[in-house]
Amino acid sequence: MNINTQKERVAKQILAEEKPINVKELVWGYLRYWPWFLICGIVFMTGAIMYLKMNKPVYRAVASVIIEDEKGKPKSSGFGGFSDLGLMEGLSTSSIENELGLMRSRRLMTNAVKALGLNVVYYTKGEIMGIASDMFPVKELYKQTPYKLRLVRLDDAKLSQAIKQEQNVLEVTLLSDEKMIIEQIDGDYKATHQVGDVVKLGFAEFIVEKNSDAPTPATEGEEEGVSGFKVKLLPVQAVSNNLRAQLSVALVDDNSTLIQLAINNQVPEKARDILDQLVFEYNQEAIEDKNLIARNTAFFIDERLKIINSELDSVESGKEQFKTVNKLTDIQTESSIIIQNVSDYNNKQQEIATELEVVNAMMNHVGSDDLGLLPANMGVGGMSMSQFVDEYNRLVLERNRLLKGATETNPLVVNLSNQLREIKENIRQSLISTRSNLRITRDNLRRQAGILGSQISEKPSQEREFRGIERQQNIKESLYLFLLQKREENSLSLAAKAPKAKIVDEAYTLGAPVSPNTKTVLGLGLLGGFLLPFLVITGKRIMNDTINTREDIKDRTEAIAILGEVPHISTGEPTLVSADERSILSESFNILSANLNYIMSKEELGGKNKCIYVTSSAQGEGKTFTAINLAMTLVETGKKVVLVGADLRNPQLHRHDDSGISEEGLSTYLKYGQKSIFEYIANTNLHPELHVLPSGPIPNNPIQLLRRESFGPMLEELKEVYDYVIVDTAPAMILADTFLINRFADMTLYLIRAGKSKKKVLEFVLESTAEGKLINPIFLLNDVNLADAAYGYKYGYKYGMQSETSKWAALSDKIKSIFTRS
């Protein structure tokens, strides 16, 4: 390969973007650890099954009720009576949140615990406390024991002390239907008792009674009933607090008063009884509250009735006395009559005044000397006046007719004029008489009206006083009747005890237990068995900054090829290839040799004979080991090979050759140059056909020796004689020795040790290649775990070992290698 082309490829690789994720390789990276997944899965699933066996199932009981809506209810109860009286303003209703809080209250739960006797717990025989009970939980005998203990006295302080000393557990052994032995565990009490006996302990007293709720005794052929049991006494408040923590109370819908209650317990029947008793206690407390209000309301109404009755009697007596003094029967009727009379007199006065006006007008008209017509039908002076006026008007009309044909001196005209003056005088006198009569009538009407006015002026004060008395009477009567009505309503509400919480669904148990959930536990066990190794492997990969597989190299660079992989050699296995035996090591180097011949011939590097440098980043990565085995493998193919020890600072060839390599070598040649290089080449016990040029004595200035001009020609001389010149060099990352002589190499075999070499080494190699410090580098991955090896190499290793190792042995080795690497 051309050096410039190599530099260009490396430079492009440095600037290239990361490769997309290879899902197949990613999955295989986890699948190769399948024994870990299998073992963790088995362990976690076993733990999950044991957890299910150790933990008793917990069931959930549910009940639902509807809370009575006080806002929509008619105010007919005793509470409503107080509301009507205005004494309970703002306290007539309670919000649904308050009802939820009341159902969760400690008081209600405590009452339920006492009513059901839940602080006395019955168990099957066996350990209740300690390690044994944690590993093998005992069964609770709720309503299943033939006898029960009815507490008469319980001292909480002494019971707490007994609990600390683990003396609150009793063991009951049945001797017969009426006799039993009661023994205090970890205590001093033990005695034989019969049904009905009173048992006195330091912290409690109880009576032994038959349990009516217990199942019927087993018939012949069936399993016998309980022959003995244990009893555990607990503080009521402790049991109440524990049950409250398990209780949930919630609205089914925000727009309704439907409430759902739920509780979890290992005994389904016990959970149902707790919910039903809790609803019962809630209703009992609500009824007691209503009855208390009703009784208080009744007492209040009775007291008020006594006071109102007395006040009403006083008001009615005052009303009677007022009528007697003022001689009144019905003040309203009398006032109406007087007012009507006054109205009549006023009307008459109006009529008289009108007639007077008319009379005065007529008199003014009659008093003139004119003999003209007079107004008729004026309603003044009665019939006679009307007749005079009619006669007068007739004569005036007749005179006026005569004057049309005669003069006023005509005797007929004169005669009519005299008659008219007489009639007119009569009319005037009649008007004077009528006016005098009207004036007299007017004065009489005024006098009568004055009398009625004085009577009217007296009535308002009487009426006002009477109305005040009557108003007091009406108020007292209304309040009296109202209180009588409320007393009857209150009596009805006291008799009717309707529950506040209407039961929609009585407590029932859901079919499947809520805990432990078998599917969930097994699923978590399976998931945990998968996640633990997955997380460990992933974490190890994230934290691991070393190179382990060829994929780690290929993911970071494709500019530099990978010659192959050398497998990990376990302790006790040979570290050198041998033609007499077929080992994984021999097969791996045979593959490397084949790959090397293919690459060298394809790229046509440097002609026929090749000079190959073997280097690495640091010490201990297998440079000498690889150089020796590669040289021996090439010799087996019939090639002439010389192995040159160019690591003048820390030579290692002598450690693999027990024949004793000459003390003179490369350092001697470079320092003195007096002999031919071939005089320093020696045979070795490693292989009869393998020649070695040892490093020689360690010089004081190895870098100065390597800089001498004789080093390059020396390699050219060797290449003329040998097909392959294998040069074992110093570590390139920590020393400059390899860079000084690398320009003479046809290929640089750069060793990467799996599990030891850091990933940053690849960047160093890429940069060094781009700068021209390394010539034609190619990677060799050393000490590879068999599980991490590429498929082709792995197959080749296995194929080479197939004659010596069975399939099961190979699988065993693989599992062992995975565990060793992990």
At 7 the pLDDT is 54
Is residue 670 within 8 Å of 709, Cβ to Cβ?
no
Q: Largest alpha-carbon pair distance within the chain?
A: 214
Distance, in Å, from the CA atom of 201 to the CA atom of 184, rounded to the nearest integer, reads 9
Q: Which of 95-109, 365-379, 436-450 has the lowest mean pLDDT?
A: 365-379
Which range has highest mean pLDDT (231-240, 454-463, 571-580)? 231-240
Q: Regarding beta strands 228-233 and 501-509, do their DSSP bridges make them parallel or antiparallel, or are they unpaired?
A: unpaired
At 755 the pLDDT is 84
* Tens of pLDDT, residues 263-279: 998 889 989 999 999 99
Q: pLDDT-based confidence at 38, cuts 50/70/90?
A: very high
* Tens of pLDDT, residues 612-643: 999 998 888 889 899 999 999 899 888 999 99
Is residue 754 within 8 Å of 547, Cβ to Cβ?
yes
Report CA-CA distances (Å) from 138 to 126, 129, 269, 802. Answer: 7, 10, 17, 58
> Radius of gyration (Cα) for the chain, nearest Å?
66
At 460 the pLDDT is 64
At 132 the pLDDT is 40
Instruction: Give the burial class of 131: count Cβ atoms within 10 A of its Cβ; 0-12 exposed, 13-18 middle, 19 or more buried.
Output: exposed
At 40 the pLDDT is 92
Pick the CATH number of 550-785 from 3.20.20.80, 3.40.50.300, 2.40.50.140, 3.40.630.30: 3.40.50.300
At 604 the pLDDT is 54
Q: pLDDT-based confidence at 5, cuts 50/70/90?
A: low
pLDDT at position 130 over 50: no
Distance, in Å, from the CA atom of 809 to the CA atom of 787, rounded to the nearest integer, reads 14
CA quadruple 615, 620, 622, 624: dihedral, nearest 10? 70
Which range has highest mean pLDDT (211-220, 330-339, 650-659, 701-710)? 701-710
At 328 the pLDDT is 64
Q: pLDDT-based confidence at 377, cuts 50/70/90?
A: low
pLDDT at position 32 over 50: yes
Distance, in Å, from the CA atom of 389 to the CA atom of 365, rounded to the nearest integer, reads 12
Could you give the residue ranges of the DSSP H alpha helices within 208-267? Answer: 236-246
At 78 the pLDDT is 44
Of the chain, the percentage scoring pLDDT greater than 90 comes to: 9
Is residue 399 within 8 Å of 371, Cβ to Cβ?
yes
At 806 the pLDDT is 38
At 42 the pLDDT is 92
At 800 the pLDDT is 47
Distance, in Å, from the CA atom of 265 to the CA atom of 243, rounded to the nearest integer, reads 9
pLDDT at position 351 over 80: no
pLDDT at position 819 over 50: no
Count the helices and strands in the chain (H runs, E runs): 24, 20
At 810 the pLDDT is 46
Tell me the backbone φ, ψ of residue 209, rounded to 5 degrees: -130, 160
At 327 the pLDDT is 63
Tokens of 489: 């309503």
Distance, in Å, from the CA atom of 710 to the CA atom of 694, rounded to the nearest integer, reads 17
At 172 the pLDDT is 86
Query: Would you say the C-alpha torsion 256, 260, 261, 264 has a positive or negative sign?
Result: negative
Between 461 and 362, the more confident residue is 362
Q: pLDDT-based confidence at 571, cuts 50/70/90?
A: confident
Distance, in Å, from the CA atom of 816 to the CA atom of 786, rounded to the nearest integer, reads 10
* Tens of pLDDT, residues 131-174: 444 445 578 888 888 888 888 888 888 888 888 888 888 888 88
At 609 the pLDDT is 84
- Residue 245, helix vs strand vs coil: helix
Is residue 628 within 8 Å of 576, Cβ to Cβ?
yes
pLDDT at position 725 over 90: yes
Is residue 316 within 8 Å of 447, Cβ to Cβ?
no
pLDDT at position 230 over 50: yes
pLDDT at position 379 over 90: no
At 461 the pLDDT is 66
Q: Which of 68-82, 287-301, 734-748 has the lowest mean pLDDT?
A: 68-82
Of the chain, the percentage scoring pLDDT greater than 70 comes to: 79
pLDDT at position 2 over 60: no
At 722 the pLDDT is 93
Q: pLDDT-based confidence at 294, cuts 50/70/90?
A: confident
* Tens of pLDDT, residues 489-514: 767 766 666 677 788 888 888 878 88
DSSP state at residue 726: E
Which range has highest mean pLDDT (350-359, 802-811, 812-821)? 350-359
Average pLDDT over residues 71-100: 52
* Tens of pLDDT, residues 647-686: 888 888 877 776 656 678 888 888 888 888 888 888 888 8
Is residue 435 within 8 Å of 356, Cβ to Cβ?
yes
Which range has highest mean pLDDT (389-393, 439-443, 677-681)? 677-681
Tokens of 265: 């317990």
| Average pLDDT value over all residues in the chain | 78
pLDDT at position 382 over 80: no
At 660 the pLDDT is 58
Distance, in Å, from the CA atom of 499 to the CA atom of 451, rounded to the nearest integer, reads 73
What are the beta bridge partners of residue 781?
A: 565, 752
Specify the pTM: 0.51
Nearest to 106 by CA among 281, 286, 287: 281
Q: pLDDT-based confidence at 794, cuts 50/70/90?
A: low
What are the beta bridge partners of residue 231?
A: 122, 170
Is residue 728 within 8 Å of 612, Cβ to Cβ?
no
Q: How many CB atoms lie under 10 A from the CB of residue 722?
A: 21
At 787 the pLDDT is 64
pLDDT at position 589 over 90: no
pLDDT at position 191 over 80: yes
SS (H, E, C) 548-581: CCHHHHHCCCCCCCEEEEEECCCCCCCCCCCCCC
Average pLDDT over residues 308-325: 75
Q: Which residues of the chain form CATH 3.40.50.300?
A: 550-785
Distance, in Å, from the CA atom of 124 to the CA atom of 822, rounded to the nearest integer, reads 49
DSSP state at residue 679: G
Report CA-CA distances (Å) from 577 to 528, 585, 587, 588. Answer: 45, 6, 9, 9
Q: Name residues whose C-beta falls within 8 Å of residue 564's C-beta, 6 or more positions apart in sequence.
A: 588, 591, 592, 595, 780, 781, 793
